[in-house]
Amino acid sequence: MRLLVKHLQGKGVEIDIDDDASLNALKSRVEEEIGVPSLSQKLVYKGKVLQNDRSLSKQGLTDQSKVFLSGKVAMSTRKPSEEVDAPETSHLEPLREFLRRYYSETDAAKITQRFQEAIKSTVDLMSLDDIERFAQAT
C-alpha cells in the first residue's frame, strides 16, 4: 500500500509498504525518507497514536491513508538529565509589556508564564488534524 506521511512542518512523503508491515518498519522508512529518528517518532492516524506492536492493516491503514508524524531530528547531544534554561519567549513580550502597565514586573511575568502554560496544554490536547486545520485557517 502507499501511505502519505505528513510532518507537522508541512513536508509530506509517499511511502510504499506492505499491508502487514509493522509500525516499526514504517518508522524505519520514515527515518530514511525524512530524517526523523524512529525512536522520536509519533505517528498518528485518524487522531489516534499508532501502536508499535500491531501491523499497519490491523490499525485500519489502507492504501492512500494519511499519517501524521510528530518528531524532531536530534540537534543536541545534551543528556535528558541535564538542565537547560528555557529561552526568553519574545513572542509573548508584547503581552508582558501590556501587563506591566497594570501589574508589577513579577506579577506580569507570572501571568505571562501561566498564559504560556495554558496555550501549551491546549495545543497538547489538539489532534494533528486539528492543528493542520488551524494552520490552514491562519
CATH number at residue 33: 3.10.20.90
pLDDT digits 0-9 by tens, 75-132? 433 344 444 444 445 678 888 899 999 999 999 889 988 888 888 777 777 777 777 7
CA distances from 39 to 42, 99, 125 (A): 8, 41, 22
Number of domains in the chain: 2
Q: Could you give the C-alpha distances from 69 to 11, 41, 43, 123, in angstroms and in order?
A: 10, 7, 5, 16
Evaluate whether residue 84 is within a structural domain: no
Query: What's the pLDDT score for residue 62?
Result: 94
In the predicted model, is pLDDT for residue 23 greater than 70? Answer: yes
Same domain, 57 and 95: no
Phi and psi angles of residue 34, each rounded to the nearest 5 degrees, phi first: -105, -30
Give the structural domain span for 13: 2-70
- Return the half-sphere exposure (C-beta side, CA atoms, 13 A cut-off) of residue 71: 22
In a domain, 116, yes or no: yes
